[in-house]
Amino acid sequence: MTEQRIIPIHHGYNFRDLGGYPTADGHHVQWGRLYRTGRLNILDAGERQQFVQRHVAQILDLRDNREVKEEPDPALTGAQYHHLPVFISDETGANLPWFSSSHDLAQKHHLGDQLMKVAYHDMLAKPTGQQAYHNYFASLLAAKSNDAIIFHCAAGKDRTGIAAYLTLRLLGVDEETARQDYLMTNQCSIEHRRNRIREIKAAGGNDVMVSNVMEMASAKDEFLQSALDVVKQEAGSISAFFTKVLGFSAADIKDLRKLYLV
């Protein structure tokens, strides 16, 4: 199933189908409806056409204004584009130019881990992030029954990872399965992280910077937990966070399941 889930995109990485995951009540997430991906601007014409053929009707872009301006998404025939920035200015470092990055990254051990925990907290604690995820789920709920949707950030790891995790849990997928989908980024971005290491070393970065950047380029349980701690503090559960914080109803959860489960 993992091979079926990972979409072979030569000019991108971390492109995956959320389909096939089982739910507690015996259903499965539909294949070909929800695609979690990294940046789209590097796709070639053939790869863009692949998503047209997959009947993508919406592109939900979770990146900040600067990221969108510098690397705009390509137009896909038949797809509406929606910009849903999780951060006013990205806190995950996905597009950080390491050769000109903070002096602290080259000096402070495990700073990468610390920064990512804060970023994951802020995704769900700050109003910008809450509005972005509200709009994300509103888009999912507004889709037609045969629509496919791409949701993405830069690396398809953090902002996208939280969107995917919340979606799977609300659809009724168990916690461990949703967690493993989040961690699958580490498998899908091996070459990307190797390129990051080469880039840092070529620019004269030291071992501390390499370690910090690799921490920031990884999916880790403790990062996810930082976001889930916000859910617990704000609402107690993911379904309660969806209703009390993101502003939906229990009926909306049922509608999500009608739309995306078989």
CATH of residue 17: 3.90.190.10
Entry field: residues in the chain: 262
Q: What are the Cα distances from residue 261, in Å, to 217, 237, 257? A: 31, 21, 5
Query: How many folded domains does the chain comprise?
Result: 1
Q: What is the mean pLDDT of each run of 10 residues along the chain (262 residues)?
A: 82 94 97 97 94 96 96 96 96 66 80 94 98 98 96 96 98 98 93 84 87 92 98 98 98 98 98
Considering the entire predicted model, what is its pTM?
0.95
Structural domain range at position 205? 2-260
Q: What pLDDT score was predicted for residue 101?
A: 52
Q: What pLDDT score was predicted for residue 3?
A: 67
Among 222, 85, 223, 245, residue whose Cα is nearest residue 170: 245
Q: What pLDDT score was predicted for residue 5?
A: 93
d(CA 89, CA 147): 30
